[in-house]
Structure 1
């Protein structure tokens, strides 16, 4: 059985959402565990170019990558990072699927929403984390693995488009295949768009 499947993609004028899954036999799974183990303070982050096999967009530039964040934390402590690594190891040993999501934003669109400043190159990372959390919550509600899965993510600034990479696993697998429904992807997009537009209205 192949360890990867074709990428699913859905887009809006402001961003593109891509998702795929890999099986536990894929090198991408072990590579991500190693990435978590090496992820330290932002000034020392060394990205693994194989973290997501399909997306060869990485540059080893610590100034252009956020620290890992999760559903509950904007930045992981050493203890939390260790727990996350152990969780992913357990998932790997139990044969879990790993879902990989990427949201790639159109920077001018983010600027219109008040999230990004082209002149200073600064972005509202907290807001980007929050909208990703809302999108993941919507996905869990529609696909069902909310109580049995965990995810971690990082924001990347190493291309012309700010993008967020997410990895999701189940410590005790509940499914053999991981393709998501098109309606789920649309709902995830809707959460991102609506909440960024809401922020723009709040700023007026």
Structure 2
């Protein structure tokens, strides 16, 4: 069983909680004092990692959104913001993000021999994840936070974060006590999805995951499918046969020619078979490269959440979903090509094509004429029909109008 490389827990307390005030008192203390008295302001005493029965061996200085280490004056300013938040009845959230030291060593973020952590990279990852988290929780314009890295060589390295709102935005709600009585308090709930996203974002930043994810999206949307729009011209006879099979099986209503529509349920397996055969024949290397990237991404989430967890299983669906996205894009491209083919075969102008009005008028009027078309009359008809055609959205209405005009204007060509 693979254990999670990063684990996160969080909790919040109300402004009248003693630990809120104790945290304020210790913001401007020196690091030695703050480390020694850590248990007095930590609200996650029994958090499942170290159990915090003893103080951390070492703590870095406080860092914030913009500062790597606060000076004495900056700590005083931060203390005042926390005091204002307490006075205004803000909640205080405390998060603890715990890293497996073995994993940090494996990925080159921690030098176990010299006991050196890549603190700048860790702090940057926390900042980026915090920015996204506060935005997701509608706190980006109201919250301030401080954080510190705590070391414990025998267990894990932790980052402790405290968040308050000097001018609170969280609404009040009514809550029940164990004895059945009720009380009013601000709502401190945070979405589990957002908390999980915070953890994932930290990991992504530490491992530079943005580039692989962007590469996956680029391959699906831009690189795979080089023959889009030319599938019926492929030299492979089996693909051409399957192409015609799909074309003949499509529903009469072309507006329903969309890969994920229910009306395509009976045709979709053939489209998928076509896509698979196409990928295996013409873009096998590119498709295999995509699968390797998706497998690496699954391995990343297994490391992040731990094997067998619900979060890992949901994250592992990413590979299934991305392959489905590829098949959907290829399928819709194939159906668009077939729609264009249908328009060509039935003389229906496409959106991007211009109408050869001379050819169209000559063909339509010569059917009902024994003599040549007069240039002046033809010009008049072309002008009228062009105006009508631009306002017609339905193909059948257009054709009906054409037939009515032919009957009315038979004399024009005589």
TM-score by length of 1: 0.84
> Larger RCO: Structure 1 or Structure 2 (Cα < 8 Å, ≥ 6 residues apart)?
1
Give CA deviations for 1:37-60 in whole Å, capped at 9, x if unaligned: 31x2x4665442121122252745
- 1:196 equivalent to 2:206? Answer yes
Question: What is residue 68 of structure 1 aligned with on the other side?
Answer: 62
Counterpart check, 1:29 vs 2:39: no
User: Contact 1:65–1:158 at 8 Å: present in 2 too?
Assistant: no
Counterpart mapping for 1:119-134 below 5 A: 119-134=113-128
- Equivalent of 2:73 in 79, 94, 114: 79
Counterpart for residue 41 of structure 2:
51
- Indicate the residue corresponding to 1:6 in structure 2: none
Secondary structure at 1:137's aligned position in 2? helix
CA distance in structure 2 between the partners assigned to 1:26 and 1:154 by the alignment: 21
Deviations 1:161-184 (A, max 9, x none): 000000000001111111110110
> Do structure 1's residue 110 and structure 2's residue 104 form an aligned pair?
yes
Q: State the secondary structure of the residue aligned to 2:148.
A: strand
Gaps of 5+ in 1: 1-11
* Aligned mates of 2:36, 2:83 — CA distance in 1: 19
Bigger share in helix = 2
Q: Select which of 92, 112, 121 maps to 2:86.
A: 92
Matched, 1:18 2:35: no
SS at match of 2:160: strand
Q: CA deviation at 1:134?
A: 1.2
State whether residues 22 and 41 of structure 2, in contact with CA within 8 Å, keep that contact through their aligned partners in structure 1: yes
The ranges of structure 1 where at least 4 consecutive aligned residues each deviate by more than 3 angstroms after the TM superposition are: 42-47, 58-61
The worse-fitting range, judged by mean Cα deviation, of 48-57 and 186-195 is 48-57
2:195 counterpart SS class:
helix
CA distance, structure 2, for counterparts of residue 95 and residue 58 of structure 1: 30
Closer, same or farther in 2 for the Cα pair 1:93/1:43, shift >3 Å? Answer: closer
Structure number with greater Rg is 2
Decide which of 152, 167, 175 is 1:172's aligned counterpart: 167
Q: Kindly indicate whether the alpha-carbon contact (under 8 Å) linking 1:59 and 1:158 is maintained by their aligned counterparts in 2.
A: no
1:14, 1:106 within 8 Å by CA — same for their partners in 2?
A: yes
Deviations 1:72-118 (A, max 9, x none): 00000121111001111111111000010000110111112211011
| Equivalent residues of 1:97, 1:178 under 8 A apart | yes
Structure showing the higher strand proportion among its residues: 1
